[in-house]
Amino acid sequence: MQDLRERFEKAGQGHVFKYFDALDKGEQEALLNQLKMVDLDELERLNKTLVFAKNTDAGIDFSKLTPAPYIPLPPEKDADAQWAKAKEVGEEAIRSGKLAAFVVAGGQGTRLGFNAPKGLYKVTPVKQKSLFQVFAEKILSASRKYGVRIPWIVMTSHINNAATVEFFEENAYFGLDKGDVIFFKQGLMPAVDLGGKIILEGKGKIAMTPDGHGGCLRGMVRSGALAELKRRGIECVSYFQVDNPLVNIIDPYFVGFHILGKSDMSSKMIPKAYALEKVGHFCMLDGKLTVVEYSDLPAQYQEQVDENGKLKFIAGSVAIHILDVGFIERLGSSTKPEDRLPFHRANKKIPFIDDSGVLQKPEKPNGIKFEMFVFDALPMAANPVIIEGFRGDEFSPVKNAEGLDSPATCKAHQKAQWARWLAAAGVNIDTDKDGVPGIDIEISPLFASNQADFVASWNALGQKPEIRNGLYIA
């Protein structure tokens, strides 16, 4: 204990012991356990580079930035030799049990303002299925289609792990085999105030926050989840975020392009909906694939057009990747600085104990949280592949309570997708100009999770259901 105290004092963080002597034994032990997890050298580095540095911009020479190349979506995937080949290779890999699904669900979801893990949020228009249920059914459906067990890794955090596991238990894992769902908690980082001091959120507790979605790489290794995947013969994982129910989790084309490209990490891109859309941009910088966040890319670049009037930096990153197990292992277990993902700074409102020992809930950001981003692994990946996806079949995140990227827009996009699938099967529903039907409809992933499968399953139905408000096709 003395040794720990001295180390914190030497690092200028001795204040974390301010109330120590007044704590009971259990509280003292809990605090010491928290403090043992803090890497003081790392914290000092982060304070220097992210808290005190005068210049905390991304340090990018924008004049050197060029758009990243990607494989464009053809009008008909199966009629295109390259895409058809990728599908064949991807299906073979899936069928032979080489793919696992991986959702990162450790975030705090503060923008949505939902008082539970985000995966519990009810997102579908008719059955009010939760995000986790939608994903589980997509995985189950692929598992049945390909006749293979598909493990699903769920990254949680210390804040939401218990509630997440309980939800899966209560819902009998949504039909999945419990042994195929593997939870692990991501790492934590101490949060600091604007002067770089670790924040006390209680007299015997320091503020620790999840280390960002990029923390999944070292989290996979440290938790043993990666070893379990290797034991099962898994070679790559399909990475997605918890807020996007449209995601095509088991996509043979994507898997095939990843394998054919001998890629460490592949990504899906969606053409930006408009110049200033808040997504990352796939760019090349010094010969490396890099995602430049919208907040780091000056508007003049976001808005640049080519001679045909098309956006130059059009490739939006929507946080859909395939990662090789070997690549995760290399980055997640390496101690070499060049293999480590960088940290970024996020200013947040963090409750704290003031000088008189009273808990304060700040109205404006008072502290800094350190996070890693998974896309920062791309510059370190060999042969990264990017393929284009169709937004309507891939991406509609629930981020905000209202407005853009909200439950309302996401419901509309789900309905529009299903109306398109029905139209492809010859059933036309009245829609608005954006293709959104006025009535509520829903198609279960267990019936079909892509248009081609929907048309086949629909055609195979003896009696077709009546098209009406509240239609649920399962």
Q: Which helix (H) or strand (E) holds 301?
A: helix 299-302
Of 17, 371, 440, nearest in space to 218 by CA: 371
CA nearest to 38, candidates 225, 221, 205? 205
Q: With respect to ligand UTP, which residue has the nearer C-beta, 138 or 420?
A: 138
User: Greatest CA span in the chain, whole angstroms?
Assistant: 76
Ranges of H-type helices in 63-110: 81-95
Q: Is 186 in the site for ligand UTP (CB under 6 A)?
A: yes
- The nearest distance, CB 240 to ligand UTP, in angstroms, is 8
Start-to-end C-alpha separation, the chain: 59
Decide: 409 and 433 in contact? Cβ < 8 Å. no
Separation CA 217–CA 334 (nearest Å) = 10
| Min CB(221)–ligand UTP separation in Å | 16
Does 47 bind ligand UTP (CB under 6 A)? Our answer is no
Residue 344 Cβ vs ligand UTP, minimum distance, rounded to whole Å: 11
Both tokens assigned to 133: 């249920």
Residue nearest to ligand UTP (CB): 107
From residue 398 to residue 417, the character string flagging contacts with ligand UTP as x (rule: CB under 6 A) and all else as - is -x------------------
Nearer CB in complex with ligand UTP: 262/278: 278
Nearest distance, CB of residue 243 and ligand UTP, angstroms: 5
- Report yes or no: 128 and 251 within 8 Å, Cβ to Cβ: no
Distance CA 153, CA 237 (A): 9
Q: How far is the CB of 317 from ligand UTP (least distance, A)?
A: 12
| Contact window for ligand UTP (CB under 6 A) among 2-10, 83-91, 205-213, 325-333 | 205-213
* Structure tokens, 360: 């304060």
Both tokens assigned to 153: 């890794």
Q: Which of 125, 190, 212, 332 binds ligand UTP (CB under 6 A)?
A: 212
**How many angstroms separate the CA atoms of 385 and 373, rounded?**
18
Residue 39 phi/psi, 5-degree rounding, is -90, 100
Q: Which stretch binds ligand UTP (CB under 6 A): 127-135, 141-149, 236-244, 443-451?
A: 236-244
Smallest distance, Å, CB 260 to ligand UTP?
28
Choose between 399 and 420: whose C-beta lies nearer to ligand UTP.
399
435: Cα separation from own chain's centroid? 27
Closest-CA residue to 130 (of 168, 169, 185, 178): 168
Nearer to ligand UTP (CB atom), residue 341 or residue 448: 341
Q: Which is nearer to ligand UTP, 123 or 259 (CB)?
A: 123
Q: Does 107 bind ligand UTP (CB under 6 A)?
A: yes
Q: How far is the CB of 343 from ligand UTP (least distance, A)?
A: 12
Beta strands per DSSP E along 374-470: 385-388, 441-443
CB of 331 to ligand UTP, least distance (A): 16
DSSP state of 341: P
By beta-carbon proximity to ligand UTP, the closer residue of 104 and 259 is 104
Whole-number minimum distance, CB 208 to ligand UTP, in Å?
A: 11
Given candidates 35, 86, 99, 104, which one binds ligand UTP under the rule CB under 6 A? 104
- Pick the binder of ligand UTP from 50, 71, 123, 155 (CB under 6 A): 155
Cβ contacts of 371 within 8 Å, gap of 6 or more: 189, 210, 211, 212, 213, 214, 215, 343, 344, 346
Q: How far is the CB of 185 from ligand UTP (least distance, A)?
A: 10
Q: Are 107 and 452 in contact (CB under 8 A)?
A: no
CB of 83 to ligand UTP, least distance (A): 28
| Entry field: residues in the chain | 474
Does 210 bind ligand UTP (CB under 6 A)? Our answer is: yes
Question: By C-beta, is 132 or 421 nearer to ligand UTP?
Answer: 132
Rg of the Cα atoms in the chain: 24
Region 316-375 residues binding ligand UTP, contact defined as CB under 6 A = 371
Q: Which of 137, 180, 235, 243 binds ligand UTP (CB under 6 A)?
A: 243
Cα separation, 444 vs 137, in Å, equals: 8
* One residue of 105, 140, 188, 220 binding ligand UTP per CB under 6 A: 105
- The contact set with ligand UTP (CB under 6 A) reads 104-111, 155, 186, 210-213, 215, 241-243, 371, 399
